[in-house]
């Protein structure tokens, strides 16, 4: 997997209509009717456009809003923010730093003990990579986020020997 997380015409051509609307036209998908709002599996969430790692399940929590919510990005420079004044209000928009994909919005109502932020993301802007597939998909550097998965893999390899 390339570390160039930019936007290419090929990547844009592979998007579904909903993915394109969300990532390129700042759309929003319906609450509770999206792929990852209730996903509790270990893994990382990457930009659907570029594959850039954005969020980890260890920072995901149930915000009750119907969208996948995280307390922080996987790395401080994974996302950028900008002021969004649409819909007659001021919000903080979150975009991927590599492909500049619209991901969702940032709110100051997250869990206080985890920094107080809620990164409220659109599932259509993300692709989930299960912890068990990180190595195979080129995201092995994030394996250390999931110690339980590491222990199971080590045990499986020992049992196979």
Cβ(131)–Cβ(43) under 8 Å? yes
Beta bridge partners of 82: 93
The two tokens of residue 26 are 């700042």
Catalytic residue among 120, 129, 131, 134: 120
Give the count of beta carbons closer than 10 Å to the beta carbon of residue 62. Answer: 11
Give the count of beta carbons closer than 10 Å to the beta carbon of residue 4. Answer: 11
88 contact partners, CB below 8 Å, separation of at least 6 = none
Q: Print burial letters for 12-22: b (CB count within 10 Å at least 16), e (below 16).
A: eeebeebbbbb
Cα separation, 86 vs 63, whole angstroms: 23
Cβ(47)–Cβ(3) under 8 Å? no
Indicate if 83 belongs to the active site. no
Q: Which residues are catalytic?
A: 120
């Amino acid at each position: 997997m390339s570390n160039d997380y930019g936007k290419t015409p090929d990547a844009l051509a592979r998007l579904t209509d909903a993915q394109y609307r969300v990532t390129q036209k700042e759309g929003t998908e319906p609450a509770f009717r999206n792929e990852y709002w209730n996903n509790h599996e270990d893994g990382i969430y990457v930009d659907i456009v570029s594959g850039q790692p954005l969020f980890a399940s260890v920072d995901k929590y149930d915000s009750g809003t119907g969208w996948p919510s995280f307390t922080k990005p996987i790395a401080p420079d994974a996302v950028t923010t900008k002021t969004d004044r649409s819909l007659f209000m001021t919000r903080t928009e979150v975009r991927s730093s590599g492909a500049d994909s619209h991901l969702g919005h940032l709110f100051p109502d997250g869990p206080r003990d985890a920094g107080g932020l809620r990164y409220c993301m659109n599932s259509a802007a993300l692709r989930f990579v299960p912890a068990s597939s990180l190595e195979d998909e080129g995201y092995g550097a994030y394996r250390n986020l999931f110690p339980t998965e590491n222990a199971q893999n080590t045990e499986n390899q020992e049992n196979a020997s």
